[in-house]
Amino acid sequence: MRAITWVLAVAALATPAFAREPAARTLRVIGETAAPIEGAPARFVIDAVITPGDAAFQGRLEGWFAALPPAGDSDEIEGDCVEARCALSADGENGKLAISADLAGPGAPGAGKLALTDDEDKTVETAVRFTPITGPVPGLGTLAAPGAIGASELTDLLMWAGYPTGFSNSDDEAVDWLQREALAEWQAGRQRPGGGLILVEDLALLRGEAVQAKRAADWRPLGGGGWTGGYPAAVLPKASGAAPEQRFASADGAAVLVVAIDPPLDGDAWDALVDQVTTDRDGVEGRSYTRVNDEMEISYEEKGRVHAAAYHRREGGLARLEFSFPAAQRETYERYVPILQRSLRAGKDLKR
């Protein structure tokens, strides 16, 4: 949990009436404070989408907030708009940031107010000025076009870069906070600015490095019948079996991967399987698992071996991946655990 939160509240100088918009639109602006506030960035970027509300003149703003160098804070930002005026909030390391300003109107964004409230409920305010982003941002780079990358591809790129986003079976939807936070960690680890903003330069670097990493791993795609996956043939060169169950092993047979599409399970049978693999037993160490409805991943060590698995339950079958290797060989195989678990994806049309 962050020790302190931020709130943004944006005040409009003018609020011209306008008709309800028929579709969502992108808002990308730079905010600059009129006076410095300790703990708040002097300059920051908002990359968001404004969607029409349930009634005329109302809208919802959701997106990402990132401080510009030398500050480095970033977080989700959201709020509501009435005509042109928006009231937004974001949580950060130093307090709750609130902004009030003209951001949703048909004209250029206007000036407003920014307030920072710390964990002792002390609030400091300053004026803030917004300007639209129309090209490269000095000291940052160029924001990628809206829709330049989806959640699925960015998750894959970050996974190969060593910054997995967490277990998911989501479709290729819009990038959300899961990918943004992992991207911010990757950017910080590379001493690059961005704070989770999707930059043209970073996408090119991530894509290039993923191609190299997959080539080094001799990554072989798998799939068919509503599912996709893959395996690193460079370390698991021995392939055997065929659909619906395939096996891959290291040259010495010590590391083993099983990818299978099992018969479908009803709700009770699925719960029983989850209980079976997650129940405590002697000799199991470092167990970690995540279950979200019909998706689950788990990893643990037992009797000198590391075990990792992923499951996706569908009406037409159960997609199952199980990977194990000697704990003494972690250096060789451990980096592939999240890659294998999260490369397995199953659609609603999964079948054996």
* 35-57 mean pLDDT: 90
- For residues 174 and 269, which has the higher predicted lDDT (pLDDT)? 269
Measure the CA–CA gap between 142 and 132, rounded to whole angstroms. Answer: 13
- For residues 14 and 186, which has the higher predicted lDDT (pLDDT)? 186
Measure the CA–CA gap between 66 and 119, rounded to whole angstroms. Answer: 21
Domains of the chain: residue spans and CATH? 8-132 (2.40.128), 136-217 (1.10.101), 220-352 (3.40.1000.10)
Measure the CA–CA gap between 18 and 104, rounded to whole angstroms. Answer: 10
Tokens representing residue 38 in the block: 């300790």
| pLDDT of 107 | 84
Whether residue 4 has pLDDT greater than 50 = no
* 296-319 mean pLDDT: 96
Edge-to-edge order in the sheet of strand 227-232 = 219-223, 227-232, 345-346
* 246-269 mean pLDDT: 97
| pLDDT of 1 | 38
Whether residue 87 has pLDDT greater than 60 = yes
Whether residue 309 has pLDDT greater than 50 = yes
Distances (CA, A) of 351 to 168, 225, 273, 274, 295: 20, 5, 19, 21, 16
| pLDDT of 228 | 94
* 232-249 mean pLDDT: 95
Measure the CA–CA gap between 114 and 7, rounded to whole angstroms. Answer: 8
Measure the CA–CA gap between 326 and 36, rounded to whole angstroms. Answer: 55
Alpha helices in 195-266 (DSSP H): 200-217
Helix axes 177-189, 151-160, angle to 10 degrees: 30
Q: Which of 119-133, 153-167, 193-207, 278-292 has the highest mean pLDDT?
A: 193-207
| pLDDT of 12 | 40
**What is the phi-psi region of residue 172: left when phi exceeds 0, alpha when psi lies from -120 to 50, beta otherwise?**
beta
Please, which pLDDT band fits residue 216 given cuts at 50, 70 and 90? very high
* 255-271 mean pLDDT: 97
| pLDDT of 205 | 98
Q: Measuring CA to CA, which residue among 341, 288, 283, 289 is closest to residue 312? A: 341
The answer to whether the peptide bond before residue 244 is cis (omega within 30 degrees of 0) is: yes
* 161-172 mean pLDDT: 78
* 50-68 mean pLDDT: 92
| pLDDT of 73 | 87
Beta partners for residue 307, in sequence order: 300, 324
Alpha helices in the chain (DSSP H): 151-160, 177-189, 200-217, 267-278, 330-333, 336-343
Q: Measuring CA to CA, which residue among 300, 298, 296 is closest to residue 319? A: 296
- Low-confidence winner among 10-19, 51-60, 122-131, 229-238 (lowest mean pLDDT): 10-19
Please, which pLDDT band fits residue 190 given cuts at 50, 70 and 90? very high
* 215-231 mean pLDDT: 96
| pLDDT of 22 | 58
| pLDDT of 119 | 85
| pLDDT of 171 | 61
| pLDDT of 295 | 94
* 135-145 mean pLDDT: 95
| pLDDT of 39 | 85
Phi and psi dihedrals of 202, rounded to 5? -70, -40
| pLDDT of 16 | 46
Whether residue 8 has pLDDT greater than 60 = no
Residues 6+ apart with CB under 8 A from 179: 151, 154, 155, 158, 165
| pLDDT of 203 | 98
Helix (H, G, I), strand (E, B) or coil at 155: helix
| pLDDT of 170 | 62
Helix (H, G, I), strand (E, B) or coil at 188: helix
pTM over 0.75: yes
First to last CA, the chain: 43
* 195-210 mean pLDDT: 97
